[in-house]
Copies of this chain bind each other. A is one copy, B any other.
Amino acid sequence: MRISEAATASGLRVDTIRYYEATGLVPKVARGSDGHRRFSPENVEWLSLLYWLRETGMPMKVMKRFAELYAAGNETIPERKAILMDHSKLLQMRRENLDRCEDVLARKLEIYEDYLT
């Protein structure tokens, strides 16, 4: 798979994929004889996991650590599991933030209604 296809498949942009590879977030991407990247299905699955982690606010430092563990093999699964479970807690906090913001917006909008009527 070429980089543009990997981009549409994962949700990341081509620039972001290159950037992630350069900073070590994507292990061992193969190259064709033309020097262009060739993404394996495993690569693409990894990229789309990164997409979701980023989309929900995981810092790159943590993604970096996660990628190193991933590259190191299956004996690192317990630590990877811990990272994902931590992130899941963060998702919970974000959800609460969304709820609170929704409240704030609702109250503000109500005040606007009062002004407009």
- Main DSSP-derived SS at the A contact region: helix
In the complex the two chains form, is A52's CB within 8 Å of B100's CB?
A: yes
> Does residue A65 face the partner (Cβ distance < 8 Å to B)?
no
Count of chain copies: 2
In the complex the two chains form, is B49's CB within 8 Å of A108's CB?
A: yes
Which of chain B's residues has its CB closest to A55's CB?
Answer: B97
In the complex the two chains form, is A78's CB within 8 Å of B108's CB?
A: no
Residues of B within 8 Å of A101, CB to CB, are 52-53, 55-56, 91
Given contacts A98-B94, A102-B91, contact A112 B81 (CB under 8 A): yes
Residues of B within 8 Å of A98, CB to CB, are 56, 91, 94-95, 98
> Does residue A33 face the partner (Cβ distance < 8 Å to B)?
no
Cβ contacts A46-59/B at 8 Å (1 or 0 each): 00010011011000
